[in-house]
Amino acid sequence: MISRWTVVADRGDLTKTEVLHDELPAASDLSDCEVLLKVSRVGLTANNVTYGVIGDLIGYWRFFPAGGDDQGVVPVWGFADVVESTVDALAPGTRVYGYLPMASHVVVRPKLTSSGFVDTADHRADLPAVYNSYLVTSQDPAYDAALEDLQVLYRPLFLTSFLLADQLTDNAFHGARTVVISSASSKTAFGTAQCLKNAGVRVVGLTSPRNVAFTEGLGLYDTVLPYNASVDVEPSVYLDFSGSADVRSALHDRLGDDLKKDISIGLTHQAPSQDQRSEFFFAPDQLRKRTADWGADGLAQRFGEAWRGFTAQAGGWVSVVRHTGPEELIDVWQAVLAGETNPDSADVITF
Both 249 and 332 in one domain: the answer is no
Both 111 and 220 in one domain: the answer is no
Question: Domain boundary residue among 233, 262, 284?
Answer: 284
Residue 239 burial (10 A CB sphere; 0-12, 13-18, 19+)? buried
Q: Is residue 241 part of a domain?
A: yes
Euclidean distance between CA atoms 189 and 161, whole angstroms: 7
Compute and round to an integer the Cα radius of gyration of the chain: 20
Q: Is residue 308 part of a domain?
A: no
Both 115 and 176 in one domain: the answer is no
Both 75 and 171 in one domain: the answer is no
Q: How many domains does the chain fold into? A: 2
CATH of the domain at 165: 3.40.50.720
Find the domain containing 171 and state its range: 154-284
In tens digits, the chain (351 residues) has pLDDT values of: 578 999 999 999 999 999 999 999 888 889 999 999 999 999 998 888 888 887 787 789 999 998 677 999 999 999 999 999 999 999 999 999 999 999 999 999 999 998 899 999 999 999 988 899 999 999 887 788 999 999 999 998 899 999 999 999 999 999 999 999 999 998 889 999 999 999 999 999 999 999 999 999 999 999 999 999 999 999 999 999 888 889 999 999 999 999 999 999 854 444 555 667 888 888 888 999 999 999 988 888 898 889 888 988 888 888 899 999 999 999 999 999 998 888 888 999 999
Both 232 and 125 in one domain: the answer is no
